[in-house]
Amino acid sequence: MTTKVIYLPLDERPCNYLYPQQLAAMTDLTMVAPPPELLGRKKERADLEGVGVWLKEQCRDADVLIVSLDMLVHGGIVPSRLHHETVESCQRRLDLLRTLKSMNPRLAIYGFNLITRVPAYSSSEEEPEYYDAVGREIYELGWLTDKSGSVGLTEEEQLRLNEVLAAIPGQVLEDYRTRRSVNSAVNGMALDLVEAGVVDYLVIPLDDNSQYGFSAMEQRALTVRAELAGLSDRVAIYPGADEIGCTLFARVFCAAKGFTPALFVRYSSTKGPLCIPKYEDRSLNESIKAHLTSAGAVIADTSAEADAILMVHSPAVGQSEMAETGTALPDRHRSYFSEINTREFVQAMKYYLDAGGLVMLADVALCNGADHLLMKLIHQRGLLGRLEGYAAWNTSGNSLGTVIAHAVIESYYRRLPAESEDERRLGSRRFYISRLIEDWGYQALVRQKVCEESLPGLGASYFALSHAIEEVCARIEAELNRFAEEYLSGQVADRLKVQSVSLPWRRMFEVAFAIETGGVH
């Protein structure tokens, strides 16, 4: 009898809505997600009443519910940063989980709820309108307040804290603190649900966080509470966000199969494991351990005993010194040229492949996309078609969670006889190919090219292109097909076409598309 998994995503973007469904389609588990019309769009929240009705209908005979509490309570990730809800209204919506458990006592509930992010820049693209004026100051206020209470401030930092407090209007600060307080209360109520046995496993991801700040303070308080309550085996708190649906599906898969995969982790830089990636608060190796644990996996002691090899292309520096995909090569930190050995990394990759290993690549040396230099080298060595999984999108945590979830699934099926594998394997290969097209082709190459060469002539910009959306999508589609023809055709597929390109939030950050393939390799 197949396991029925109900999935309520964080929002409607492909990374949250489609990726977990695509992973589920590689397995014999069944995943059911809400129809897109129930979900919101960016700042427009979901139909919460409709979502509640849908959950009651679907969970009556389900085995597992993977649920975003941000969606359940606020209607999505961005609405969770904009709401004016009371703690009481949030509690009423969370109580639906108690109802679902009462209706179906065998229902296992895997929940996740973000610690509200504090971006280090001034933009209201995904935040309240006042973030245009004082977003950076709100970030600095959190950073300096936390640092003051933990290790103390220098005289210069104390002066800056005074300036920041003077720059943020009182009503703005009150609005911000009130919303954070409500969201923090929701995380507290989520822990209550774990203690009560309603939620079986809870991830509290740190979204766009840093070493100090409002998020760091909340994380420490939640961690202490979870530890004192004896919940550390059922509650995980670590950097992440949009990949958690994938991670929790991998955990559900492992539980359904009674499977604990062991992944061997191999870095491109000796310093890589100790670097703290940009937008995160802890060393890369500690984050990897957290992602693996939540996905139901462990780190293998040796490559020979591993179920899969996780090749981690890592930076040798962290935080603000870490390069973005758009950083020109000469402008990268000097450690990219002295403390990362991509040639040895690719040679090791070939060795593991030649030995019959299942090899997955987490390309996290840069933020927001692939390292084109590494990927060209892999292409030149003819290895693209031999890898089984890849991710390089957005933050380090986003990439790690996605490729680890894929590795968990593939490592299970690698152990089984190959009969009747064609359809399942095709889904897995299409997911891998899609990651190459989006994370390497779009994020590292096409996005910047279209922004520089096409948007100005259309009177458009990165966040303002609704009036030219069809022309922009057509140019993206053409460029992605050129990329696929140059780098992917022949090595990963005999014939490959990118089509139906769209921009889900009418900006250049995310892209959606479909692919048509001939024989995949």
pLDDT band at residue 421 using 50, 70 and 90 as cut-offs: low
Packing angle between helix 396-414 and helix 244-257, nearest 10 degrees?
20
Phi, psi values for residue 199, rounded to 5°:
-95, 125
pLDDT tens track for 49-87: 999 999 999 999 999 999 999 999 999 999 999 999 999
pLDDT tens track for 135-161: 999 999 999 999 999 899 999 999 999
* Per-residue pLDDT at 517: 85
Cβ pair 515, 497 in contact under 8 A: yes
Mean pLDDT of 363-373: 97
CB under 8 Å to 84, separation ≥6 — which residues?
179
The answer to whether residue 452 scores a pLDDT higher than 60 is yes
∠ Cα 209 41 502 (to 5°):
95
pLDDT band at residue 419 using 50, 70 and 90 as cut-offs: low
Mean pLDDT of 470-491: 96
Query: Of 430, 78, 408, which is closest to residue 247 (Cα–Cα)?
Result: 408
Q: What pTM was computed for the model? A: 0.96
pLDDT tens track for 221-258: 999 999 999 999 999 999 999 999 999 999 999 999 99
Alpha carbon dihedral 26, 28, 29, 35, in 10-degree steps, equals: 60
pLDDT tens track for 337-358: 999 999 999 999 999 999 999 9
SS3 of 282, please?
coil
* Per-residue pLDDT at 470: 97
pLDDT band at residue 451 using 50, 70 and 90 as cut-offs: very high
Residue 116 is given by DSSP the state P
* Per-residue pLDDT at 254: 98
| Better-scored residue on pLDDT, 303 or 521 | 303
The count of other CB atoms within 10 Å of the CB of residue 383 is 17
Tokens of 111: 């929940």
* Burial of 453 from C-beta contacts in 10 A (0-12 / 13-18 / 19+): exposed
* Per-residue pLDDT at 331: 95
CB under 8 Å to 429, separation ≥6 — which residues?
492, 517, 520, 521
User: Rounded to an integer, what distance in angstroms lies between the CA atom of residue 3 and that of residue 157?
Assistant: 55
